[in-house]
């Protein structure tokens, strides 16, 4: 009788897990999950967990801010409405022009006299009326400053009358705005016009040594003469 192979015993079946082990495993998972959640909530945000970085708080000082000194602006005289840079190449003329502009802006008409020549006349009551000779006997020599009027006669006046006359003229017809200047050789003219350009204030200046001076201040209407507005060379004829 031949030997028969022994039958292979069946594989052992796994033992069913104990119910207590399952309960313990579930409790462990729950505990581990709670610990991770607590750790993430309580721990500060890490760079790889949050795109925004915490902003460090800056300690604020409770000391009062130092007082800033407030300087009171010094009032300055208003300049004429148009004050372009000097439009001629003669520096000495430009220096005179700056002074004349400043005097006009400040209503300091005595400032014009710094560049006007004092003139004299022999009074003659029987001749042409001259302001400084009013009430003066014939043959008396009087000094004063000449004010000319465009297309009319002028007059030689005292310093006080000069200031009064110019002040009244500017207050009535002004303000006067700088129009421009002309300079040729030893002659120069500075022109100021009112807004309507129908009244003028003209300084006919002549070079004297290192500065410029005038014999007459010219006032009056333009009478539709555009040479003052256009600064025609003919204006230099006012310089004597």
171: CATH: 3.10.450.50
Does 15 map to a domain? no
Indicate the number of domains in the chain. 1
| Per-residue pLDDT band at 24 (split at 50, 70, 90) | low
Does 8 map to a domain? no
Does 204 map to a domain? yes
Does 140 map to a domain? yes
Closest by CA to 101, choosing from 86, 88, 89, is 86
Does 124 map to a domain? yes
Taking 80 as the threshold, does the pLDDT of residue 89 lie above it? yes
Does 164 map to a domain? yes
- Kindly report, residue by residue over 43-80, the tens digit of the pLDDT: 544 444 444 444 444 444 445 444 444 333 333 333 34
CA distance 179 to 5: 137
Closest by CA to 196, choosing from 171, 217, 221, 215, is 221
In sequence order, the 6+-apart residues with CB closer than 8 A to the CB of 170 are 104, 107, 109, 176, 201
Closest by CA to 189, choosing from 85, 79, 82, 87, is 87
Does 179 map to a domain? yes
What is the predicted pLDDT for the residue at 156? 97
CA distance 123 to 127: 8
- Kindly report, residue by residue over 158-185, the tens digit of the pLDDT: 999 999 999 999 999 999 999 999 999 9
Does 60 map to a domain? no
**Residue 163, domain extent:** 91-238
Q: Do residues 159 and 145 make contact, with C-beta atoms less than 8 angstroms apart?
A: yes
């Amino acid at each position: 009788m031949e030997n028969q192979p022994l039958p292979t015993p069946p594989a052992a079946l796994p033992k069913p897990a104990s119910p207590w082990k399952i309960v313990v495993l579930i409790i462990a998972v729950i505990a581990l999950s709670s610990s991770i959640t607590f750790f993430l909530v309580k721990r500060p945000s890490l760079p790889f967990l949050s795109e925004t970085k915490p902003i460090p708080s800056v300690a604020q000082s409770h000391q009062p801010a130092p007082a800033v000194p407030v300087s009171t602006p010094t009032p300055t005289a208003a300049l004429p409405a148009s004050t372009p840079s000097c439009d001629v190449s003669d520096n000495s003329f430009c220096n005179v022009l700056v002074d004349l502009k400043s005097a006009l802006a400040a209503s300091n008409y005595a400032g014009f006299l710094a560049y006007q020549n004092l003139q004299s006349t022999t009074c003659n009551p029987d001749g042409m009326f001259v302001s400084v000779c009013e009430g003066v006997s014939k043959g008396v020599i009087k000094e004063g400053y000449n004010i000319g009027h465009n297309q009319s006669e002028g007059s030689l006046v005292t310093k006080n009358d000069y200031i009064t006359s110019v002040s009244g003229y500017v207050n009535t017809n002004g303000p006067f705005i700088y129009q421009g200047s002309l300079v040729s050789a030893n002659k120069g003219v500075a022109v100021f016009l009112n807004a309507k350009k129908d009244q003028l204030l003209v300084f006919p200046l002549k070079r004297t040594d290192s500065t410029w001076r005038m014999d007459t201040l010219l006032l009056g209407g333009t009478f539709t003469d555009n040479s003052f507005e256009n600064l025609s060379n003919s204006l230099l004829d006012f310089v004597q």
